[in-house]
Amino acid sequence: MKLIVTKDEQQGGLEGFKVFQEALQNNAQTFGLATGSTPITTYEQIVQSDLDFSNCISINLDEYVGIKPDNPQSYRYFMNKYLFNQKPFKQSFLPNGLAQNSKQEAADYDQIINQHPIDLQLLGIGQNGHIGFNEPGTSFDLTTHVAKLTESTIQANSRFFKNINDVPKEAYSMGIGSIMKSKKILLEAFGTQKADAVAAMFNGPVTIDVPASVLQNHPDVVVIADEAAAAKVN
Ligand code: F6R
């Protein structure tokens, strides 16, 4: 894994943007995307740029179960707001949080991923080392599934909701098995609250207790961390 340490989040966002730019230059077609605070600075850079994704496909990592796409808390809403409204893609996929049959929805999403192999997958990292909503203890072989959010993730995500009880308890998540098939992976991490997870990902053993540690087994991973998030890496 390659580590790029930046002064701050803003600079990190710019470095992340450059990875997208290079991928496009290398004819990347399919981009795996993430939500949350972390990718926002990179999305801002993309939106301000003249990069053209109109022939590209995006496949997002996850979506809350039970939330409508037009709900401001949904990940579809987030993606429209921060990226797609300003930078349209040919097609953009997220799991359907309202699907009646979750097993079928997960299988359909896997089929989409198989039909469109991901050239560049953008990831954030949870304070507990999760990637997507693959929480500690999740098998490395899983494909798309409904994940139960841990208390620590519910706590962390409650900042986007009026009340912690409104945070959904489940989400569809791309599995680690699918994430690892991406040609290239870009993981961004900003802030001291990510320092332990980033250190465990780099220096610790590869273990399902720290889902991001699996990235040690991937041949092409770039981690962009600000000084605070990289502080505990050996
Ligand atoms: C979001 C996702 C999550 C986040 C992680 C970090 O699509 O898959 O794994 O990347 O929870 O969240 P932030 O960026 O809000 O700190």
Q: Tell me: the pLDDT tens digits for 82-117?
A: 999 999 999 999 999 999 999 999 999 999 999 999
Q: Is the CB of 130 under 6 A from ligand 1?
A: yes
Name the DSSP letter for residue 150: P
Q: Which CATH class is domain 2-171+188-210?
A: alpha beta
Enter the pTM of the model. Answer: 0.97
Is 217 assigned a catalytic role? no
* Spatial contact of 201 and 207, defined as CB atoms under 8 Å apart: no
Q: Distance from the CA of 19 to the center of ligand 1, in angstroms?
A: 19
Q: What is the mean pLDDT of the chain?
A: 97
Whole-number Å distance between alpha carbons of 36 and 152:
15
Helix (H) or strand (E) holding 184: strand 184-189
The closest-lying atom of ligand 1 relative to the alpha carbon of residue 75 is 7
Whole-number Å distance between alpha carbons of 143 and 170:
16
- What residue segments make up the domains of the chain, in order of their start? 2-171+188-210
Two structure tokens written together for 48: 């301000």
Q: Distance from the CA of 37 to the center of ligand 1, in angstroms?
A: 7
pLDDT of residue 164: 95
Q: Residues 92, 93, 97, CA angle at the centre, nearest 5°? A: 135
pLDDT of residue 127: 95
Q: Find how far residue 169's CA is from the centre of its chain.
A: 18
Whole-number Å distance between alpha carbons of 54 and 225:
29
Is 130 assigned a catalytic role? yes
Q: Is the CB of 37 under 6 A from ligand 1?
A: yes
Q: Dihedral of the CA atoms 165, 166, 169, 171 (nearest 10)?
A: -160
Q: Tell me: the pLDDT tens digits for 174-187?
A: 999 999 999 999 99
| ipTM for the complex shown | 0.99
